[in-house]
Chain A
Amino acid sequence: MKKGTLKQILLLTDGCSNQGEDPVAVAALANNQGITVNVIGVLDDHQSEQPDGLEEVEAIAMSGGGVSQIVYQKALSQTVQMVTKQAMTQTLQGVVNQELKQILGEKQTFEELPPDKRGEVMEVVEDLGETCDLEVLVLVDTSASMTPKLSTVKEALFDLSLSLNARSGNNRFSIFCFPNKTKPIQKLMDWTPELDGISKVFPKLASGGITPTGPALKEAMYQFGKKSLFGSMKHASKPYEETGY
């Protein structure tokens, strides 16, 4: 197995999209291009657990091959890092499953292996999760209703970089927000290995009413190609350890 970089979009929102193409379809497209889409629905503290409009959260993540979670602000930090890690394991396990199918036949998946073999495979998945490179594009819905939640979002993102930077693999983060008057998404922070500079990045203004999640996701997909040359050259040729199958 060659060393790869896991690519994830982390969408933080509190409502349903209402403009442009269907985000569920865009997420499927992203997944097809090797980008996992995770979605976290952020609730107000007084909101009920099953609010209207947030069913979309699960649908987007499902078609984006990722993980979704609907949480209250209080639990945001822990959820953001958990969702990201869970999606990493899921993706890596998917890759391993593909390999297994190729070697052992179409029907052989991880779940169908005997427990001790499964244990060995899991060790490999864990090793990969610890050492692989990861790129996370954080896409924050900054429409009016999200504004009071943005300080919690900032905290959660800082916490995310704390969790991921404890791994041996390299991380790169970037932050984008939407909606924006002139373009689908607005860059708040370019690709960077740390998220501790985020204190200043969220804009105060928020355009009310529209939530064009689909177009925003689509534009976010294209950001993975655009990265600084320096960053992508660094640690370019460190292959994975031989995995033994």
Chain B
Amino acid sequence: MQVNHTKKLVTNLKQGTIIRGKWNGTKYQVIQKLGEGACGVVYLCERNGVQAALKIGTDSSRIITEVNVLKTFQKVQGKRLGPSLLDVDDWVTPAGIIFPYYVMEYLRGTELASFLRGKGKEWLGVMMLQLLTDLEELHNQGWVFGDLKTDNLLVTTPPPQLRLIDVGGTTQTGRAIKEYTEFYDRGYWQRGSRKADPSYDLFALTMVMLEIAYGSRFERGTHPRQTLEKKLQQASLLKPYRLLIQKVWTGGYTHSREMKNDLSSMLNSPSKYKAAEMKNTRVSRRREAEKTSFASAESVVIFITVILFYILYSIVAW
């Protein structure tokens, strides 16, 4: 009860509220609420005329965990993953309650679904390619994004660039996924474990594609695997990506790079791209298997007929 009560104090901060840091003394003025996550509320705020996003919460450990992840990302040279971290501090309210917060770069953008609305089909592929490029970078650093979902994707313009936001689920490779959302979780769909490995993110990426195709999330039903397969077959938007997605589901990719390469060659020459070109897919293997088993069945039948004739012949002869 107490926790809920104190949480309410920061879920609706009024415009103009001044948040002053206990440790660094920096002042931020609240402009408006941007969103609310599992462990905190994000506000657009301003400091010396510069806008920034400030995430404030009640659970110090979760806020700090996210800060730790953001810090690791800052150390990466070259491409920046996620928003950059600007400040970490505590706010002591006039009533004496302490709220931990951190301040990050404010990314102005649109949600992926609304960005794609009214655009050509090719844009989905392009966005996914950008996402795979970021994931590859992340995976190379030994991290898995974890809670990959449409809510955590933002398209900034110009030029259109897909960005990952909210690093709350980001987990070191090999550990248990920190945070996930059922619809995007391969464990929920009975397609694997919740251990952080690159293919965990790739599965979530295919679910982002399905969600875009249907305009909403859907239930898993009593047979999750079949539901997924059916949904994929029925999504006309995803027709060109079917084999790619199935390859993810059957564990065909262990690295984001492999999937990125397949997707990019597919986008570069869509006309030449045929099912047969994608090697190692289960589908083609299964077809071969069917062929061989059919052949062996045939020879068994012939063999039995010959024996029958022989027996018949020996009985008659006898």
Q: Which residues of A are in contact with B by a Cβ distance under 8 Å? A: 58, 77-78, 89, 93, 110-111, 114-116, 118-119, 122-123, 125-126, 130, 159, 162-168
Main secondary structure of the interface of A (DSSP, over half): helix
Do B1 and A58 have beta carbons less than 8 Å apart?
yes
Is there contact, CB below 8 Å, between B68 and A111? no
Say whether B136 faces chain A, with CB atoms less than 8 Å apart: no
Interfacial chain B residues near A130, Cβ < 8 Å: 175-176
Q: Given A165-B193, A167-B175 in contact, is the A119-B67 Cβ separation under 8 Å?
A: yes
Once the chains are docked, how many angstroms separate the CA of A125 from the CA of B62?
11
The answer to whether A166 touches B195, judged by C-beta atoms less than 8 angstroms apart, is: yes
- Contact assessment for A77 and B182 in the assembled complex, using a CB-CB cutoff below 8 Å: yes
Least CB distance from A72 to B in Å reads 14
CA distance A165 to B177 in the complex (A): 11
Across the interface, name the chain A residue whose C-beta is closest to B87.
A115
In the complex, chain B residues whose CB is within 8 Å of the CB of A163:
176, 187, 194
| Best-surrounded residue of A77, A110, A114, A122 (most CB of chain B within 10 A) | A122
| Number of A-B pairs, beta carbon distance below 8 Å | 57
**Chain A residue nearest to B177 in the complex (CB):** A166
- A126–B64 CA distance with the chains assembled, in angstroms: 11
Separation of A196 and B134 alpha carbons in the complex (Å): 36
**Given A163-B194, A166-B176: A116 in contact with B61 (beta carbons within 8 A):** no
In the complex, chain B residues 193-207 whose Cβ is within 8 Å of any chain A Cβ: 193-196
Are B65 and A122 in contact, with the CB atoms below 8 A?
yes
B64/A122 in contact, CB under 8 A: yes
Partner of B60, one of A58, A110, A123, A167: A110
User: Within 8 Å CB of A93, what residues of B?
Assistant: 61
**Residues in A neighbouring B196, C-beta threshold 8 A:** 166
Residue of B nearest to A59 (CB): B1
B194 lies within 8 A of A118 (CB): no
Residue in A89, A163, A168 with the greatest tally of chain B CB atoms within 10 Å: A163
Instruction: Determine the chain A residues whose CB is within 8 A of the CB of B194 once the complex forms.
Output: 162-163, 166
Q: What bracket does the count of chain B residues touching chain A fall in? A: 20 to 34
Bound complex: CA A93 to CA B71 (Å)? 21
Q: B23 is contacted by which of A110, A115, A122, A166 (Cβ under 8 Å)? A: A115
Min CB–CB distance B88 → chain A (angstroms): 4
Report yes or no: B61 in contact with A125, Cβ–Cβ below 8 A: yes
Which A-chain residue is minimally distant from B2 (CB atoms)? A62
B40 beta carbon closer than 8 Å to chain A: no
Q: Is the CB of A123 within 8 A of B68?
A: yes
Residues from chain A with Cβ under 8 Å of B64 in the complex: 115, 118-119, 122
**B148-190 residues at the A interface, CB under 8 angstroms:** 174-177, 182, 187-188
Going nearest first, the 4 A-B pairs with the smallest beta carbon separation are A166-B176, A166-B194, A115-B88, A166-B195
Contact A126 B187 (CB under 8 A): no
What would 16 more interface pairs be, CB under 8 Å, given A77-B182, A166-B175?
A78-B182, A114-B23, A115-B23, A115-B90, A115-B100, A118-B60, A118-B64, A119-B68, A122-B68, A130-B175, A162-B187, A163-B187, A163-B194, A165-B193, A166-B176, A166-B193
20 CB < 8 A contacts A-B: A58-B1, A89-B61, A114-B23, A115-B23, A115-B88, A115-B90, A118-B64, A119-B71, A122-B61, A122-B65, A126-B65, A130-B176, A162-B194, A163-B176, A163-B187, A165-B193, A166-B176, A166-B177, A166-B193, A167-B176
B98 at the interface (CB under 8 A from A): yes
Nearest chain B CB to A105 CB, angstrom units:
18
Give complex CA distance A93, B182 in Å.
27
| A111 and B176 within 8 A (CB) | no
Instruction: Give B62's nearest chain A residue, CB to CB.
Output: A89
Q: Is B46 an interface residue (CB 8 A)?
A: no
Residues on A with C-beta less than 8 A from B187 are 159, 162-163
B88 — which chain A residues lie within 8 A by C-beta?
Answer: 115-116, 119
Taken together as a complex, chains A and B put the C-alpha atoms of A166 and B174 apart, in Å, by: 8
Complex contacts, B23 vs chain A, CB 8 Å? 114-115
Given the complex of chains A and B, what is the CA–CA distance between A110 and B176 in angstroms? 24
Question: Bound state CA distance, A234 and B222, in angstroms?
Answer: 37
Chain A residues, CB < 8 A from B195: 166
Q: How far is the CB of B300 from chain A (nearest CB, A)?
A: 38
Query: Min CB distance, B248 to chain A, in Å?
Result: 19
The 0/1 profile, CB within 8 Å of A marked 1, for residues 1-45 of chain B is 100000000000000000000010000000000000000000000
- Chain A proximity mask over B51-67: 1 for CB below 8 Å, otherwise 0: 00000000011001101
Instruction: Tell me the complex Cα distance, A230–B85, Å.
Output: 49
- Which residue on B lies nearest to A167, using beta carbons? B176
Given A89-B61, A163-B194, A166-B193 in contact, is the A115-B89 Cβ separation under 8 Å? yes
Which B residues are in CB contact (< 8 Å) with A114?
Answer: 23
What distance in Å separates the Cβ of A164 from its nearest Cβ neighbour in chain B? Answer: 7
CA distance A114 to B68 in the complex (A): 14
User: Which residues of B sit under 8 angstroms from A125, Cβ to Cβ?
Assistant: 61
Provide the residues of chain B in CB contact with A58, threshold 8 Å: 1
User: A residues within 8 A CB of B68?
Assistant: 119, 122-123
